[in-house]
């Protein structure tokens, strides 16, 4: 639905962001209105990469959905964080395909251990399990010096 979004983009190896009202349902980084907003902000004659969009509430804070996949910049999934009905706080599930049973480990103080990539073979698998920290303002997770994104997700079709 139309709404306010934070658009993360980069040029000259530096990340930038803008907040922009978008008049579309479920915009993506390739949507014309997103590209237009970024191009108005970026200097002329520079190559710009749009990284991601974050849906914002009326107060300018990111919208907190009930489920988020943890995804790196290459699209590799590192699990799921979610809210459980009748439980306080957030939970981490390493294998998001096991979501139906709703197992998961409680996340304390926005920190938890990421087991590794769910269903992927990754070259740095020896770096896992590893401590991860949630940044709710950026809707991201920092782990092993990298930023993974919290992307809204629903197990329903």
Residue that is written with structure tokens 């803008």 in the block: 18
Inter-CA distances, 5 with 16, 25, 70, 80, 108, Å: 14, 12, 19, 22, 28
Question: pLDDT of 49-60, one tens digit each?
Answer: 999 999 999 998
Q: How far apart are CA 148 and CA 78, in angstroms?
A: 9
Query: Would you say 102 and 25 are in contact if contact means Cβ atoms under 8 Å apart?
Result: no
- Scanning the chain, the segments in alpha helix (DSSP H) are 32-41
Q: Which of 135, 112, 116 is nearest to 124 (CA)?
A: 116
Grouping H, G, I as helix, E, B as strand and the rest as coil, residue 147 is strand
Question: pLDDT of 93-116, one tens digit each?
Answer: 987 677 666 678 899 999 999 988
Based on its alpha-carbon atoms, the radius of gyration of the chain, rounded to whole angstroms, reads: 17
- Scanning 9-136, the segments in alpha helix (DSSP H) are 32-41
pTM of the shown model: 0.84
pLDDT at site 37: 93
pLDDT at site 112: 94
Residues with pLDDT less than 50, the chain: none
Name the average pLDDT for the chain: 88
């Amino acid at each position: 639905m139309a709404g306010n979004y934070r658009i993360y983009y980069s040029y000259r190896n530096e990340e930038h962001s803008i907040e922009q009202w978008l008049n579309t349902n479920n915009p993506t980084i390739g949507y014309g209105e997103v590209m237009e907003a970024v191009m108005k902000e970026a200097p002329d004659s520079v190559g710009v990469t749009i990284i991601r969009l974050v849906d914002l509430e009326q107060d300018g804070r990111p919208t907190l959905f009930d489920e988020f996949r943890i995804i790196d910049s290459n699209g590799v999934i590192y699990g799921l964080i979610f809210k459980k009905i009748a439980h306080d706080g957030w939970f981490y599930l390493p294998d998001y395909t096991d979501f139906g049973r709703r197992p998961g480990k409680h996340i304390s103080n926005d920190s938890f251990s990421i087991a590794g990539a769910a269903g992927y073979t990754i070259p740095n698998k020896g770096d896992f399990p590893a401590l991860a920290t949630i940044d709710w303002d950026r809707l991201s997770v920092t782990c092993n010096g990298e930023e993974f994104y919290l992307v809204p997700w629903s197990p329903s079709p």
